[in-house]
Structure 1
Amino acid sequence: MNPHEREVAFSSPVNRELVHRASTSEVLPTSFSDTSKGTFVAGIQWPRRHSFYGPERFDSALIAETIRQLTVLTLHEGYRVPLEHKFMMTGFGFQIHGVQPSVVRRAAAVELVGFVSLVDARWSGTDLRGGKVEVAIRTREGQLIAEGYGVARICSASTYARIRRQGLGDSLGKTQRLEKLPASDVGRQHASDVMIGRTSDPAIHSIQADLDQPYFFDHALDHVPGVALIEAIRQHACIQHANPHVDLQRFEATFTRVVEHSPSATVHASPHSENLFLITQGPAVCVRATATLRVFGPTQVSRKFPSSVKGGAQPAPGALLLE
């Protein structure tokens, strides 16, 4: 029995505003409480089925979204950051650990426990200005499923508007419509779930953000969100390895610039290291990410690469992720 079992509940989701979601059905945390100074515990419920990610195989998109929601929830609920404030995430990472199939292959929804703490906090008087939120996701029995982190800079709505140019946040923007890849090539079921398209160079893919995609765009965003960029990297890896079952087992990223809706950004592996992925828009590098890949198939072979960024730039003040 997990010693924190009595501190979690699963009967209903937390308020959707606390995790920056418009749809209540997409809210994953079900409770949040303070266990001791600087440490929090959250109930988490994953759906039995979902139109986008697959809980039955611990989809990296599901892990990333869980960590994103716990990061946002902790800053709002744990540190009373006002709901109108903006979180400009400059770093994000996760690692998925081996789990028994019985954890998720059952009729009931999956109930988990998240342990969360804030480190490297930056304060201005009594106002929290940023920090690194560390997350560990465990089964109710205590088995570690995944761990990760989000590094956030916190700013007021007015400061955000100045950074993003006044009025830009009121518009979704326009995205170019280019040829997408078949959904089956990147391990997805629906065309709207495909995040990348072809370019003249087979080693480079354009990022195709579909504003009608309900998972990534269930509320208005003035940029391409970080979870969509992470998925674009995964899909690019599927094509590069000619296997739709490729997923991210370990992932770390530095977000140095906002990815706008237009012109189309591109994703490619670094010519110097196949485990280093870059997302660029025009001449600017927006995201540097390293990944260890895993392959889901009949034998579930794991393909591993080193996970250290070479020559990574320091995050700029304008980096934005997972809003």
Structure 2
Amino acid sequence: MTTDPVATLGFDQLVPPMMVNRRSPREVFVTDHAPAGAEGFAIAVRVAHDHPLWSDQRTHRHDPAVVIEAFRQAFVVVRHAYLGVPRGTPTAVQQLKLEVKELQAFRADGTTPLRGVVKVRVTRTGDTLDIAGDFFVGRVLAMTLSFGSILFPHDSYREIRDYQRARRTADPGAAPKAQPIEPELVGRYDRSNVVIGPPAVRRNQFPLVVDRSHPSFFDRDYDHVPASLLIEAMRQSALRSAADSGLRTGEAALTRAELEFGIFVETDVPATCAVSATGQQGTVTASVGIDQADVRVASGILELTEVKP
């Protein structure tokens, strides 16, 4: 009899932070992993019910967006533990897709962590890695996700960053750094988790708030704004704009995304997120784009859905 690898995965012990490119154990979600089939892998994840960022939700649900970070960590484990990619190899996500299949799987009681298994499949072509997977809570398929990413040789990465940095340097005469808008406007309680400020020029164009001391977004050193913060800025901009379409932002969850990331985003050069939202009957679709120094650096579509009691 063949043992199902998923059935043997444990949720009690988190892997060491360095295994998922993190510093703080608080930011580690992977607990176990194993090969699953000829080309697949299964990764067990656990997210604390009181995580300072991912539990800070007015929907009283586990945040579906946390699975993006869990998926990223699963990707790190797979490429290093099974695919032979050396640790420290620079990597960048170029495309991200997700779709929530069962929102009720994210119900929370305020004391129980979110536990699930990410089943992934990886395709490697040269320096590109495509990973697709399913997130299960128990036996329920809660979400599907996929990343398209690229691996950089260290020398190439440094050349690219030096070139991009030279073309987008900080402007001493730029406007003062944006201050975060009120957290309830984007479904948060904690102001430190708000990553957009009030529009300064156009109504639906929100400046990014980049706080390098944030314990989750900047758990390790970055020479650019991490994708997790960009995604959150897109979501918060969409939530704020969706309120004009009648969506109750304190009761809305991210249920679908199709995003593309271009060049890296500098941490000390102003950036804004432009959004256009339309919707009806409790669901809003938002077109979003992040601009820096007159360049569109990330864009895509987000879907927000009101959570039913």
TM category (shorter chain) comes to: 0.7 to 0.9
Name the residue aligned to 1:155.
Answer: 152
Contact kept? 1:280, 1:287, Cα under 8 Å: yes
How far did residue 50 of structure 1 move? 1.4
Note if 1:295 corresponds to 2:306.
yes
**Residue identity matched to 1:136:** D
Name the residue aligned to 2:19.
Answer: 18
2:266 to 260, 263, 273: 260
1:281 to 292, 303, 307: 292
How far did residue 35 of structure 1 move? 2.0
**Partners of 2:67 and 2:82 in 1: CA distance:** 21
Contact kept? 1:234, 1:247, Cα under 8 Å: no
Name the residue aligned to 1:225.
Answer: 226
Contact kept? 1:7, 1:41, Cα under 8 Å: no
**Partners of 1:107 and 1:193 in 2: CA distance:** 21
1:90 to 90, 94, 104: 94
Change over 3 Å in CA distance of 1:276–1:100 after alignment to 2: closer
Contact kept? 2:242, 2:278, Cα under 8 Å: no
Contact kept? 1:251, 1:289, Cα under 8 Å: yes
How far did residue 99 of structure 1 move? 4.2
Name the residue aligned to 1:41.
Answer: 42
**Partners of 2:106 and 2:194 in 1: CA distance:** 29
Matches within 5 A, 1:106-255: 107-119=111-123, 121-123=124-126, 129-140=127-138, 142-165=139-162, 177-198=177-198, 199-242=200-243, 243-245=248-250, 246-255=252-261
How far did residue 179 of structure 1 move? 2.8
How far did residue 102 of structure 1 move? 8.4
Note if 1:70 corresponds to 2:74.
yes
How far did residue 188 of structure 1 move? 1.4
Structure 1, unmatched stretches of 5+, are 124-128, 301-323
Moved more, 237-246 or 279-288: 237-246
Name the residue aligned to 1:318.
Answer: none
How far did residue 19 of structure 1 move? 1.6
**RMSD over aligned Cα, in angstroms?**
2.7
**Partners of 1:204 and 1:231 in 2: CA distance:** 15
Instruction: Please give the per-residue CA displacement for 1:96-136, whole angstroms capped at 9, x wherever unaligned.
Output: 222446864363333211101103x213xxxxx22211121
SS at match of 1:263: coil
Question: How many residues are matched?
Answer: 286
Contact kept? 1:70, 1:135, Cα under 8 Å: no
SS at match of 1:223: coil
Contact kept? 1:270, 1:278, Cα under 8 Å: no
